[in-house]
Chain A
């Protein structure tokens, strides 16, 4: 394989893996935190506004890890710096 196809294969496979793995584990974490928040709201309905606000902030923090993986895979597919480098070298 030449350089271009190696980079293409590596980028595509890595993009798929990073999004899939990076979606799995934040989903597990979010499910755990939502279930805990629901059970604590069921126990203490008075504290629901505070729990909900903290839950939202926490969910956003957890979700941002998934978003980082997504951004990395988007960069690998649409704005790959190595790919651009190789292509510009070839065209010279």
Chain B
């Protein structure tokens, strides 16, 4: 039994390997890029818009609202990263309705790459918001004793993000494979429908957690800014 699509190898030369995960990832990226390029090629502002533009607007405003509800005041700065994460994971999990498709999120390398993206994005947005010093100060909160714990939580939550997505998608595929050998007629379809649901929920949770982490980094550094402003005002007074 194959544990992940990494084990299906098409081409190998020394260090470089092209396996099923890479091929499907690039195919999904191609689908996303081509579809969004086709939709955004002729955007209209009038009353009558095309159907695809309607879908696009629903998606973008929905993601914007979700980001805003979590506490990031300007979602348009973050939707480029968070929305792309969400759409990529959703597309790769929902395409399991296609025959012979294996989701690339069912391989630990893909989910680890996505989690590392989140791991890099959190300090990036924090530094953009408040400078390097302001961001680094957020590690010393509430006291400097918490510094090692803050560092540990940074790394363990990245690991948890990766393993959570991988485990959910991989277990869905494996349950279908096991049921195919036991009761091959109806139950695999039911479990596949359940896999669609968990795929959507996991994509939602991955992007929500990424948003929460980024919001925490931005918010922490913003509150230090406020304190500094207040203290400088007091000095001026």
Is B204 close to A, CB under 8 A? yes
User: What residue of chain B has the Cβ atom nearest to residue A79's Cβ?
Assistant: B3
Q: Which of A4-12, A26-34, A60-68 forms part of the interface with chain B? A: A60-68
Whether the Cβ atoms of B201 and A56 lie closer than 8 Å is yes
Instruction: Identify 29 residue pairs between A and B in the complex whose beta-carbon atoms are under 8 Å apart, listed by A's number.
Output: A53-B69, A56-B201, A56-B205, A57-B205, A57-B208, A57-B212, A60-B164, A60-B201, A60-B202, A60-B205, A63-B164, A63-B168, A64-B160, A64-B163, A64-B164, A64-B167, A67-B163, A67-B168, A67-B171, A68-B163, A68-B167, A70-B171, A71-B166, A71-B167, A71-B170, A74-B170, A74-B174, A78-B3, A79-B3
Which residues of A (45-80) have their CB < 8 Å from a CB of B?
53, 56-57, 60, 63-64, 67-68, 70-71, 74, 78-79
Task: Tell me which residues across on chain B come within 8 A of A64, comparing CB atoms.
Answer: 160, 163-164, 167
Chain B: number of interface residues, binned into ranges? 10 to 19
Number of A interface residues, CB 8 Å? 13
Interface residues of A (CB under 8 A from B): 53, 56-57, 60, 63-64, 67-68, 70-71, 74, 78-79
Is B190 close to A, CB under 8 A? no
- If over half of B's interface residues share one DSSP class (helix, strand or loop), that class is named, otherwise mixed; here it is helix
Q: How far is the CA of A67 from the CA of B159 in the complex (A)?
A: 13
- If over half of A's interface residues share one DSSP class (helix, strand or loop), that class is named, otherwise mixed; here it is helix
Interface residues of B (CB under 8 A from A): 1, 3, 69, 160, 163-164, 166-168, 170-171, 174, 201-202, 204-205, 208-209, 212
User: What residue of chain A has the Cβ atom nearest to residue B3's Cβ?
Assistant: A78
Q: How far is the CA of A50 from the CA of B201 in the complex (A)?
A: 16
Task: Tell me which residues across on chain A come within 8 A of B202, comparing CB atoms.
Answer: 60
User: What residue of chain B has the Cβ atom nearest to residue A66's Cβ?
Assistant: B167
User: What residue of chain A has the Cβ atom nearest to residue B174's Cβ?
Assistant: A74
**Which of A53, A56, A70, A79 interacts with B167 by CB under 8 Å?**
A70
Task: Tell me which residues across on chain A come within 8 A of B174, comparing CB atoms.
Answer: 74
Q: Which 5 A-B residue pairings sit nearest by Cβ, starting from the closest?
A: A67-B167, A60-B205, A64-B164, A71-B167, A78-B3
